[in-house]
Amino acid sequence: MRIFLVALLLFPQFLMGIESKIPTEIKNQKNAFYAFVPYLNYDTTQSWSFGTAIEKESESKSVDTYLVDLEATPKARIRLKTKYSSHLDSRWRASLRTDFTNFYDPFYGFGMSTKVEDLKKIKQCSISSQLNFSYEHSSALSFGPFIEFNQRIERPDYQIDKQRFFPNETSMSVGVNTLYDTRDSKINPHSGDKHELSLSVVPEGLNSLEQINTFTQIKLDLRKYFPIYETVLATRFTAGTTIGESNYLYKYNLGGIDLLRGYQTNRFSGNKLASVQLEERVNLYKEYIALTGSFEAGSINSNPFEKIRSSKGIGLRVTMPPDWTNILTINFGFGNDQNNASLEFNENF
């Protein structure tokens, strides 16, 4: 029944979207567009949500872009995301991203041995803000420093048993990020690579939790897209490690709409991460509708070859009007002991 209901959303989603063209007198912005998009999302963990996004987007790096995205659920989950990116000069670019969420965070425990019945829902508010500076060495390679602020406030008074799971936390991290990107499209790639390496440090003095010492995180995200006749094979390898003991907010997670999509959000959590994703995309109608089949495997153990979980999935990718650039993805994933369904706009993989 859930699959039927999610599939029905394809048709009203297809009709949504109102666009205003950028004035022609603005130079070097012929590839940019403004859009106002009401939408509906779905995932098995949070159920239905509705929202509105206002954005200015472009495939060109020389164009300033922004996004304001407000999302809510009938159960009073609210999420506000903003992002502004600006070209400072011919080489440097700056971006500011914020993310505020008031919701129940699913928590199954740590490790790969968690069970479906272990699920707890932590009522909390969280805010994250990142300021990033990027130096464009070439059209494909960029790198630069960033600083990030994170805060999480747990609200046990809203818990049924008034239980507190973790202490409130406020922290700042500093780091560097390197990006190599040769994709033919940021939203709907058919060929090329996207490789990203980040290193961040959370100093002891910038962490509100006294029992947490300075820790370092390293994350690698490798993506490659292969055009094969009229299909696209999308591949992704993700790895992460933590040197030291991290806060709850900095744990790596598997499950949900991003990694290991056959399991529900935050099903597996820990200090290390390894994940492989393979997705075949077969065009059903030109470039507008594609059928997908996927296989994923991952682990958050210290030894990534132990207790590996895998999932399979099927879905659709639909290019949305009016600009035929945004992608609606419908995915049904099947794990060993759990299934997950999702409907999302511009899911990046």
- Mean pLDDT across the stretch 112-134? 94
Task: Give me Rg for the CA atoms of the chain.
Answer: 20
* Segment holding 3, helix H or strand E: helix 2-8
Average pLDDT of the chain to the nearest whole number: 86
- Alpha-carbon dihedral 146, 149, 152, 153, rounded to 10 degrees: -170
The rounded Cα 276 to chain-centroid distance in angstroms is 16
- Mean pLDDT across the stretch 33-54? 83
- Alpha-carbon dihedral 221, 256, 314, 303, rounded to 10 degrees: 50
pLDDT digits (tens, 9 = 90+) for 143-190: 999 999 999 999 988 877 788 999 999 999 999 999 999 999 887 889
- Residue 8 scores a pLDDT above 50: no
pLDDT at 237: 97
The pair of three-digit structure tokens given for residue 36, joined into one six-digit string? 């106002």
Q: How many CA atoms lie within 13 A of 261 on its CB side?
A: 26
Q: What percent of the chain has pLDDT over 70?
A: 88
b/e burial code for range 231-248 (CB count within 10 A of at least 16 → b): ebebebebbbbbeeebbb
- Mean pLDDT across the stretch 8-19? 37
pLDDT at 224: 97
- Residue 17 scores a pLDDT above 60: no
pLDDT at 230: 84
Q: What percent of the chain has pLDDT over 90?
A: 60
Could you tell me the domains of the chain?
Answer: 88-345 (2.40.160.50)
**pLDDT greater at residue 69 or residue 186:** 69
